[in-house]
Amino acid sequence: GKPTWNGLPNEFCSNYCRTVASHPSTSRLLSPGDKRYEDVRNQYASKWDTARGSPTPIGAIYEVTPSTALASEFDAMVKSIGNVKTFGNGTNPGNVQRRFHGTRLKCDFNGVCCGDPECSACGVVSSGFDMSRLGKWSGNKGHYGGGIYFTSMSSTAKGYGTKSGYSFANGNWSDPKAGNAILVVKVACGRVETVKDKTSDPVDLSQYDSRKIDKATGVDELVVFQAKQAQVRYLIVF
């Protein structure tokens, strides 16, 4: 028969057919009291550094179901990494961790992505992370190498992706009107290189799948180098 889009058996004949047949990403509003809502809320509250101020009140939490294509890419990545040494609450295969990612939200999100290319949160929810947009909002490609950055601290994530005029320096980074949202993401860390200091040296991808930065402040950051290592599961809006 006709060869498949990726040469593997039982796959679609073309990427076009694969995309058309797949379900798009969807999001569903969770209600307070729902087990998943409380699980995310508890992680958000427990991982907020109260020395920096009170947690920004949560406006809403949406559960994200990734598109068929995004889900299959993440599953394939996890399986290709396999069973490796984990840390913290990591699970195998893939040493999968749950982390926060702060990013720009331009629209008044109501469960449907807006389609504005400048609205990073909607772009990631609908189409996954995009390596070509590195540093679009932060103005740099990262102190620890060019990749997608995640953190275990909700308070750190809330400071990223803010609109003009809102920043840590201005002291208003935690304002609900700061123009950002927090994505709760499953991250396939695989084999982890741990560093303490800033480094732009590329990771040896024959040895490692991700880079973990343990800062003296107690904040940890996690960097992955392929978009398919990250899968959005929840969106927190303020």
Q: Name the amino acid, one letter, at 38.
A: E
d(CA 141, CA 133): 9
Q: What is the CATH number for 232?
A: 3.90.228.10
Q: Is residue 110 part of a domain?
A: yes
CB atoms within 10 A of CB 1: 5
The pLDDT tens digits of the residues spanning 175-230 come to: 999 999 999 999 999 999 998 877 777 888 899 999 998 877 777 889 998 999 99
Closest CA to 154 of 118, 205, 198, 101: 101
Q: Is residue 11 part of a domain?
A: no
Q: Is residue 138 part of a domain?
A: yes
The boundaries of the domain holding residue 190 are 19-237
Closest CA to 226 of 145, 155, 121, 112: 145
Q: Which residues pair with 103 in a beta bridge?
A: 181
Q: Is residue 56 part of a domain?
A: yes
Q: What is the pTM of this model?
A: 0.86
Query: How many domains in the chain?
Result: 1
Q: Is residue 14 part of a domain?
A: no
d(CA 148, CA 132): 10
d(CA 9, CA 158): 44
> Please, what are the averages of pLDDT over each run of 10 residues along the chain (238 residues)?
64 59 87 97 97 95 95 95 93 96 96 93 93 55 72 94 91 95 97 84 89 81 92 98
What integer best gives the mean pLDDT of the chain?
A: 88
